[in-house]
């Protein structure tokens, strides 16, 4: 009995030292540390999350395409000009406001009609060319007209058969710009004298206008539902009609014209596949 008590007294400091903990400047004895260490020896299941690179590698090509399609903004216009065919028929009607530079009169006071039929070739998303055959009325008139001794009934009429050739630029489906040339042949001409209003179209003393006319033009149009077009164009003669009257600042007479147009684009002619 005395031996056991003696051994217990000798080994008690060793056991107590092994269970002693130092925390925040205090000494504590934890006899349950062994059990805690045993519990800590149990291997916990470790959850490993894949990195972004590994996750991207595991995606299938189909998922990548769907993800790219969903994330990419839809900025492309859904209009496909090729579905409407290559050729489109055109019909246009308009009103000309005209004057002739070099005749000692000014102002777009002469009004005439303009009618054209043709075809448009849409070969690009933003570009096309068009060819038309039409009839247009040009001319000029005096600043004022009155009868009597001081009559001033001056007027000239020039009717042309024309073939406008245009290069068109389309901005999406709403706006169209055009530039081009218009060769034309004179089919009717009439002129009245300023002082007495007598017609002098066939007078031998009257200088006859040039039969062939060539004009340049530029146009701006609004497109409504891809079929109806409203706009205006400005045209000016490249070749002079005849010599200018004295007192003018130009070297000849030239057509100067504004045309307000309505155009209808007919059902397209589908191209063969």
CA contacts within 13 A on the Cβ side of 157:
15
Residue 113 and residue 96 in contact, taking contact as beta carbons nearer than 8 Å: yes
In this predicted model, what pLDDT tens digit does every residue of 18-30 receive, in sequence order? 555 555 555 555 5
- Given CA atoms 246, 251, 252, 258 in this order, what sign does their dihedral have? negative
Token digits of residue 256: 């100067």
What DSSP string describes 147-171?
-STT----EEEEEEEE--EEEEEEE
> How many Å apart are CA 197 and CA 155, to the nearest integer?
8
Higher pLDDT, residue 16 or 251: 251
Q: For residues 75-87, give the mean pLDDT.
A: 62
> How many Å apart are CA 139 and CA 158, to the nearest integer?
5
Residue 11 has pLDDT above 70, yes or no: no
Residue 112 and residue 105 in contact, taking contact as beta carbons nearer than 8 Å: no
In this prediction the pTM is 0.67
CATH topology of domain 88-265: Porin (2.40.160)
Residue 226 and residue 265 in contact, taking contact as beta carbons nearer than 8 Å: yes
- Given CA atoms 133, 116, 120, 273 in this order, what sign does their dihedral have? negative
In this predicted model, what pLDDT tens digit does every residue of 257-270 receive, in sequence order? 999 999 998 865 55
CA dihedral 177, 183, 188, 190 (to 10 degrees): 70
- Given CA atoms 111, 112, 113, 116 in this order, what sign does their dihedral have? negative
Closest C-alpha among 110, 258, 135, 140 to residue 187:
135
b/e 184-215 (16+ beta carbons within 10 angstroms → b):
bebeebebbbbeebeebeeeeeeeebeeebeb
Q: Name the region of 74 (left: φ>0; alpha: ψ -120 to 50; beta: rest).
A: beta
Q: For residues 140-168, give the mean pLDDT.
A: 81
> How many Å apart are CA 23 and CA 169, to the nearest integer?
84
Residue 257 DSSP SS3: strand
Closest C-alpha among 81, 97, 96 to residue 168:
81
Token digits of residue 221: 């149009």
Task: State the average pLDDT for the chain.
Answer: 78
In this predicted model, what pLDDT tens digit does every residue of 193-243 receive, in sequence order? 877 778 888 888 889 999 999 999 999 999 998 889 999 999 999 999 999
Q: Which of 74-83, 139-148, 249-258, 259-268 has the lowest mean pLDDT?
A: 74-83
Checking DSSP bridges between strand 87-101 and strand 26-29, what pairing results, if any? unpaired
Residue 148 and residue 109 in contact, taking contact as beta carbons nearer than 8 Å: no
């Amino acid at each position: 009995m005395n031996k056991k008590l003696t051994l217990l007294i000798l080994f008690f400091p060793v056991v107590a030292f092994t269970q002693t903990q130092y925390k925040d400047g205090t000494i504590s004895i934890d006899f349950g540390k062994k059990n805690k260490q045993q519990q800590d020896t149990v291997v916990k299941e470790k959850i490993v999350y894949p990195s972004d690179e590994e996750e991207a590698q595991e995606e299938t090509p189909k998922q990548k395409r769907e993800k790219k399609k969903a994330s990419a903004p839809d900025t492309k216009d859904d209009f496909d000009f090729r579905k409407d065919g290559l050729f489109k028929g055109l019909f246009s009607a308009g009103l000309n406001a005209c004057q002739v530079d070099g005749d000692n009169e000014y102002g777009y006071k002469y009004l005439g009609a303009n009618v054209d039929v043709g075809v448009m070739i849409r070969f690009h998303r933003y570009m096309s060319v068009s060819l038309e055959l039409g009839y247009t009325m040009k001319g000029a008139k005096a600043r004022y007209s009155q009868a009597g001794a001081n009559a001033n009934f001056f007027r000239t009429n020039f009717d042309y058969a024309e073939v406008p050739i245009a290069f068109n630029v389309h901005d999406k489906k709403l706006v169209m710009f055009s530039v081009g040339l218009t060769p034309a042949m004179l089919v009717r001409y009439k002129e009245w004298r300023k002082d007495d209003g007598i017609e002098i179209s066939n007078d031998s003393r009257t200088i006859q206008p040039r039969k062939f006319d060539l004009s340049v033009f530029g146009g701006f149009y609004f497109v409504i539902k891809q079929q109806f077009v409203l706009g205006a164009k400005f045209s000016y003669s490249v070749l002079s009609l005849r010599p200018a009257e004295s007192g003018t600042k130009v070297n000849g007479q030239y057509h100067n014209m504004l045309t307000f147009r309505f155009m209808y684009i007919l059902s397209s002619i589908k191209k063969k596949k």
